[in-house]
């Protein structure tokens, strides 16, 4: 068996119970194929980088699990035909990057609700700070570039 990550983006309009049902289906698929779930993480509702099916937000869930490679095609097919799933991606992990089994997250499927800070991402204003103030000695203009500068832009001596 190999270790895989499944990142799923669900329709944000779904109720919590509908997302729970979808996650139970994923869990049943993994276990039915002889797999072991290592970790669940609910990242919550986040803004998408670009609109997908006229949706600007999605509910993100990460599942790390061990499964035989033959089971991955069935999991991928199931996620692809599910209308509640906006996008999904299954990737293989190297064994050295595989996390330990997190019993608490496996029991609770990563918690019932997402953390409240994930409900909406607000962009922070961009503030640039400069520590250096340039003086006339710091700025050197060579004569070739100075001759191309119009009279209006030349500094007043």
Measured CA to CA, the distance from residue 133 to residue 129 in angstroms comes to 11
Average pLDDT estimate for 89-97: 86
Domain ranges of the chain: 2-118
Lowest mean pLDDT among 75-79, 84-88, 121-125, 130-134: 121-125
Per-residue confidence band for 141, with pLDDT thresholds at 50, 70 and 90: low
Measured CA to CA, the distance from residue 89 to residue 97 in angstroms comes to 18
pLDDT tens track for 129-140 = 555 565 565 555
Q: For residue 42, with 0-12 CB atoms within 10 Å meaning exposed, 13-18 middle and 19 or more buried, which class applies?
A: buried
Per-residue tokens: 135: 């003086």
- Mean pLDDT value across the chain: 78
Query: Which residues partner with 8 through β-bridges?
Result: 61, 88
Residue with tokens 């609770």, as numbered in its chain:
108
Decide if pLDDT at 144 tops 70. Answer: no
The domain made up of 2-118 has a fold known as Alpha-Beta Plaits (3.30.70)
Average pLDDT estimate for 72-89: 93
Specify whether the CB–CB gap between 37 and 30 falls below 8 A.
Answer: yes
Share of residues in the chain with pLDDT > 90 (%): 32
Measured CA to CA, the distance from residue 103 to residue 119 in angstroms comes to 26
Residue that wins the pLDDT comparison between 103 and 25: 25
What is the structure's pLDDT at 103? 72
Per-residue confidence band for 100, with pLDDT thresholds at 50, 70 and 90: confident
Lowest mean pLDDT among 7-11, 28-32, 68-72, 117-121: 117-121
Terminal-to-terminal C-alpha distance of the chain: 76
What is the structure's pLDDT at 126? 57
Residue that wins the pLDDT comparison between 144 and 39: 39
């Amino acid at each position: 068996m190999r270790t895989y990550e499944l990142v799923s983006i669900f329709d944000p309009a779904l109720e919590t119970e509908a997302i729970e049902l979808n996650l139970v289906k994923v869990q049943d698929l993994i276990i039915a194929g002889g797999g072991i779930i290592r970790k669940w993480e609910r990242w919550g509702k986040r803004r998408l980088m670009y609109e997908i099916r006229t949706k600007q937000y999605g509910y993100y869930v990460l599942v790390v699990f061990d499964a035989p490679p033959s089971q991955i095609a069935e999991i991928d097919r199931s996620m692809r035909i599910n209308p509640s799933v906006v996008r999904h991606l299954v990737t293989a992990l190297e064994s050295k990057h595989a996390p330990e089994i997190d019993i608490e997250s496996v029991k609770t499927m990563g918690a019932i609700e997402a953390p409240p800070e994930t409900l909406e991402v607000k962009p922070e204003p961009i503030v640039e700070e400069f520590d250096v103030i340039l003086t006339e000695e710091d700025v050197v203009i060579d004569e070739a570039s100075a001759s191309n500068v119009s009279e209006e832009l030349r500094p007043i001596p």
